[in-house]
């Protein structure tokens, strides 16, 4: 079983994604560190306590709140202040223990402290294990825009451990499941997609989920290594996200409670519908909708596509009037097609 992937930037190793079954196995990864500062999600305090116990060089820790409102410069400054007060030098390693909000915040805080210290991630949500904590995108929300301020800096390592998910609520697990399935729709070695659907539908051992999460993190690591700054191939990882962002935007406007993963699941099904409509695939929407439903994920956006199209026009990933739509030919193969929102809408409503 593969236990490690390397992220490279310009062909040079820049970070590792490591899979281990127990939290205590983090110790060898930080054995050489003399100044570890832990930034952890208050909701993942139990996991953080175990990590802190296993890491001998911990010199300080700070618990943070992790709503999207807390994903702000204010929280970054809280982290900076705690690093300063604890006497962190340029040798410091900031260790983020939490979901994507925590890893995005801690990575960004580390990247500007004393002009940049290293950071590493112990993701405690499935979403962060397969997506947010891998690839080096960090940042905060600003002026109503998500992830508006930030930098791309690779973490020294991302520690993928099934144990870190043991207190995660089911709904948050499922939110990450959407990204897990998305990754395997992009690349489906060893039928990881089918195995993930079965695990989600029927349940299974934590170790198997960890193997799948690590494999998905590995797919992301490989794509990021080939395209660290999203000039081309990395856009594939946005499968379903153009629609998902529009769904989230509309949900926010109406005060509806839809998680990112739920929006991604609905968004992938819409992307499959668009793929079918454009003749890129055949019967993909029905197949994915059936699999997602079995996995416990929602499949139908509760808003009309016309409404979503309006929000999509404002998507920050759009260049000019063209949007990079990620379409799927089949499970394991996706492609990017530049279309205007009007062209996509026409295909979806024919
Ligand atoms: N950097 C990237 O490339 C990237 C990619 C995708 C998403 N993101 C960002 O990630 C964020 C979403 O990540 P997320 O879904 O992990 O959200 P999150 O960090 O908000 O975690 C989800 C919820 O689970 C709780 N939680 C976390 N770990 C727990 C544990 N072990 N036990 C109990 N509760 C726990 C959190 O407190 C929170 O309430 C968004 O802000 C998004 O922008 C970043």
Ligand 1 centroid – CA 68 distance (Å): 9
Q: Stretch 251-266: mean pLDDT, rounded?
A: 95
Structural domains of the chain sorted by starting position, each given as residue range(s) with its CATH number in brackets: 4-226 (3.40.50.1970), 239-349 (1.20.1090.10)
The percentage of residues in the chain with a pLDDT greater than 90, rounded to a whole number, is 92
Distances (CA, A) of 240 to 57, 267, 336: 41, 4, 12
Is 241 a residue of the active site?
Answer: yes
Rg from Cα positions in the chain: 20
pLDDT, position 315: 57
Q: What is the pLDDT of residues 267-318, one digit of tens each?
A: 999 999 999 999 999 999 999 999 999 999 999 999 999 999 988 887 545 4
**Could you tell me the two tokens for 84?**
């300063």
Q: Stretch 2-21: mean pLDDT, rounded?
A: 93
**Pocket of ligand 1 contains residue 18 by CB under 6 Å:** no
**Pocket of ligand 1 contains residue 285 by CB under 6 Å:** no
Say yes or no to pLDDT of 319 above 70.
no
Say yes or no to pLDDT of 135 above 80.
yes
**Pocket of ligand 1 contains residue 248 by CB under 6 Å:** no
> Residue 191 carries which DSSP code?
G
**Pocket of ligand 1 contains residue 124 by CB under 6 Å:** yes
Distance of alpha carbon 106 from alpha carbon 138, whole angstroms: 8
Q: Cα–Cα–Cα angle for 85, 87, 93, nearest 5°? A: 110
Q: Cα–Cα–Cα angle for 112, 117, 119, nearest 5°? A: 105
pLDDT, position 312: 85
pLDDT, position 311: 87
Say yes or no to pLDDT of 162 above 90.
yes
pLDDT, position 65: 98
Nearest alpha-carbon partner for 50 in 69, 30, 84, 27: 27
pLDDT, position 146: 85
Q: What is the pLDDT of residues 77-128, one digit of tens each?
A: 999 999 999 999 999 999 999 999 999 999 999 999 999 999 999 999 999 9
Among protein residues, the one with the nearest Cα to ligand 1's atom 42 is 100
Residues 6+ apart with CB under 8 A from 175: 125, 126, 127, 259, 260, 261, 262
| Residue-averaged pLDDT of the chain | 95
Q: Stretch 256-263: mean pLDDT, rounded?
A: 95
Is 324 a residue of the active site?
Answer: no
Residues paired with 336 in a beta bridge: 326
Q: DSSP string spanning 36-79?
A: EEEEEEGGGHHHHHHHHHH-TTEEEEEEE--STTTSSHHHHHHH
**Could you tell me the two tokens for 339?**
């279309």
Among protein residues, the one with the nearest Cα to ligand 1's atom 18 is 99
Among protein residues, the one with the nearest Cα to ligand 1's atom 27 is 99
Is 137 a residue of the active site?
Answer: yes
Distance of alpha carbon 190 from alpha carbon 104, whole angstroms: 31
The number of the ligand 1 atom at minimal distance from the alpha carbon of 126 is 16
What number of CA atoms fall less than 13 Å from residue 189's CA on the CB side?
8
328: left (phi over 0), alpha (psi -120 to 50) or beta: beta
Which residue among 39, 103, 107, 125 has the greatest number of ligand 1 atoms within 8 angstroms of its CB, and so is best to mutate? 125
Burial of 229 (0-12, 13-18, 19+ CB in 10 A): exposed
Among protein residues, the one with the nearest Cα to ligand 1's atom 25 is 43
Q: What is the pLDDT of residues 197-232, one digit of tens each?
A: 999 999 999 999 999 999 999 999 999 999 988 889
pLDDT, position 313: 80
Distances (CA, A) of 71 to 76, 135, 275: 8, 19, 34
pLDDT, position 320: 53
**Pocket of ligand 1 contains residue 167 by CB under 6 Å:** yes
Lowest mean pLDDT among 228-232, 325-329, 334-338: 228-232
pLDDT, position 96: 98
Is 115 a residue of the active site?
Answer: yes
User: Is the pTM for the entire model greater than 0.85?
Assistant: yes
Q: Stretch 229-248: mean pLDDT, rounded?
A: 94
């Amino acid at each position: 079983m593969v236990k490690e992937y390397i992220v490279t930037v310009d062909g040079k190793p820049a970070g590792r994604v490591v899979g281990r079954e127990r939290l205590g196995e983090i110790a060898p990864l930080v054995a050489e560190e003399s100044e570890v500062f832990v930034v952890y999600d208050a909701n993942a305090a139990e996991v953080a306590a175990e990590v802190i116990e296993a890491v001998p060089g911990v010199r300080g820790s700070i618990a943070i709140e992790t709503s999207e409102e807390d994903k702000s410069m204010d929280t970054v400054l809280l982290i900076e202040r705690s690093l300063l007060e604890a006497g962190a030098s340029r040798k410091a390693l900031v260790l983020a223990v939490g979901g994507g909000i925590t890893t995005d915040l801690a990575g960004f805080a580390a990247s500007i402290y004393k002009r940049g210290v290293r950071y590493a991630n112990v993701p405690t949500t499935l979403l962060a294990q397969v997506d947010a904590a891998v690839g080096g995108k960090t940042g905060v929300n600003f002026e109503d825009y998500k992830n508006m301020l930030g930098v791309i800096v690779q973490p020294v390592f991302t520690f993928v451990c099934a144990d870190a998910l043991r207190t995660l609520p089911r709904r948050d697990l499922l939110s990450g499941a959407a990204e897990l399935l998305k990754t395997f729709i992009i690349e489906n070695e060893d039928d990881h997609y089918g195995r993930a659907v079965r695990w989600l539908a029927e349940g299974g051992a934590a170790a198997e989920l960890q193997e799948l999460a690590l494999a998905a993190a590995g797919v992301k690591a490989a794509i990021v290594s080939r395209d660290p700054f999203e000039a081309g191939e990395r856009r594939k990882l946005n499968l379903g996200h153009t629609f998902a962002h529009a769904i989230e935007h509309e949900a926010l406007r109406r005060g509806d409670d839809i998680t990112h993963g739920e929006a991604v699941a609905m968004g992938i099904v819409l992307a499959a519908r668009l793929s079918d409509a454009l003749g890129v695939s055949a019967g993909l929407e029905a197949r994915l909708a059936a699999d997602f439903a079995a996995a416990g994920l929602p499949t139908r956006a509760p808003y009309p596509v016309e409404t979503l199209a309006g929000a999509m026009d404002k998507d920050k990933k759009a260049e000019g009037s063209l949007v990079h739509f990620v379409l799927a030919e089949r499970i394991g193969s996706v492609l990017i097609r530049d279309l205007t929102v009007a062209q996509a809408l026409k295909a979806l409503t024919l």
